[in-house]
Amino acid sequence: MSAVAFALVIAAAITHAAWNIVAHGVSRAGMPFLWWGAVGGTVVWIGVVPFTGGLGTDDVLAFLLGVGVSGVLHVAYMAVLQRGYREGNLSTVYATARGTGPFLSVIVAVLVLGERPSALALVGVAAIIVGVVAIGLVDRGRADRSRRLDPGLVFGLLTGVAIAVYTIWDANAVRTWNLSPVAFMVGTMLLEIPFYSFGVRGRWAAVRTLGRTQWRRIVAFSILSPLSYILVLTAIQIAPVALVAPLREVSVVLVSLFGVFALKESRPGWRLAASAVVAGGIVLLAL
């Protein structure tokens, strides 16, 4: 991976970790928070579009197709993820999703996009995925033994599939049609607003209350969350998806380390060991 692409993805991971830390707790508000995120992100970033190459293409129909499909995929991803958090253990869903998504992205990138990462890079990818899953499983509780299959695993896998699908689609769209990452992100968020507006129907009082009491966190989210994915989309234009997708999950490690040193979360040794495995994978990707 080139130094520029590596720096972009690491910056994206740091930004992603930052907004997760800032938004810790408030994101559990569910659909009202997602509505504010889409609206706030659109308002913050739409003014940047003219200064970052506009749409990036003169083919408006291609741009609309790209962001239209992406918007639907991102909403589907959030819907499955939220359902998973209701039905299963949070850490099980999170670990399964964050490990499955990059893994499937690598497979599809190799088989469909024709990417050919080196053997050393694939070892690094494997190390990152294993480390991320290990971090997610630290706090996993026992599954409900009255059920034959842990719903957390089911929805985690479905979420991972959704991550892989939108990652591959977005990568192919920005590459094929030379779309501007900023315009692509803004277009996607703009198209998410009607879906989330439907989701919060009858709950506008909760939306207003959240906006009034948590506006600082919403503003931080509106700046940092789109920025993290804009950096990823930029990296995808110059580096293989098979390498970018796993490397962006470094954010999971950063959040975990914050939990160890700032929040004094349990089993710090396990978390640090898993983080070391991810760090080893990062080194291999950087070679």
Contact 55, 180 (CB under 8 A): yes
pLDDT, tens digit, 9 for 90 and up, residues 213-253: 999 999 999 999 999 999 999 999 999 998 998 888 888 77
User: Could you read off the pLDDT of 181-195 as tens digits, one per residue?
Assistant: 999 999 999 999 999
Would you say 101 and 93 are in contact if contact means Cβ atoms under 8 Å apart? no
CA dihedral 130, 134, 140, 146 (to 10 degrees): 30
Which class for 3: exposed (0-12), middle (13-18), buried (19 or more C-beta within 10 A)?
exposed
Q: In whole angstroms, what is the distance from residue 184 CA to residue 182 CA?
A: 5
Per DSSP, helices labelled H in the chain are 3-22, 31-46, 60-87, 90-111, 119-136, 151-176, 181-199, 204-213, 215-236, 241-247, 250-261, 268-286
Cβ contact 183:54 at 8 Å:
yes
Q: Which of 19-28, 106-115, 165-174 has the lowest mean pLDDT?
A: 19-28
> In the prediction, which pLDDT does 91 show?
61
The tens digit of pLDDT for each residue in 55-83 reads 999 999 999 999 999 999 999 998 888 78
pLDDT of residue 14: 92
Inform me whether the pLDDT recorded for 202 exceeds 50. Answer: yes
Give dist(CA 182, CA 192) in Å, integer.
15
pTM, 2 dp: 0.86
DSSP notation for 71-133: HHHHHHHHHHHHHHHHHS-HHHHHHHHHHHHHHHHHHHHHHTS-----HHHHHHHHHHHHHHH
How high is the pLDDT of residue 148?
A: 61
Q: What is the C-alpha to C-alpha distance for residues 255 and 23, in angstroms, rounded to an integer?
A: 12
CA 47 to chain centre: 23
Asked if 166 contacts 241 with a C-beta cutoff of 8 angstroms, the reply is no
CB 95 within 8 A of CB 140: yes
The mean predicted confidence, pLDDT, of the chain is 87
The tens digit of pLDDT for each residue in 114-155 reads 898 888 888 988 988 888 888 767 755 544 445 566 677 788
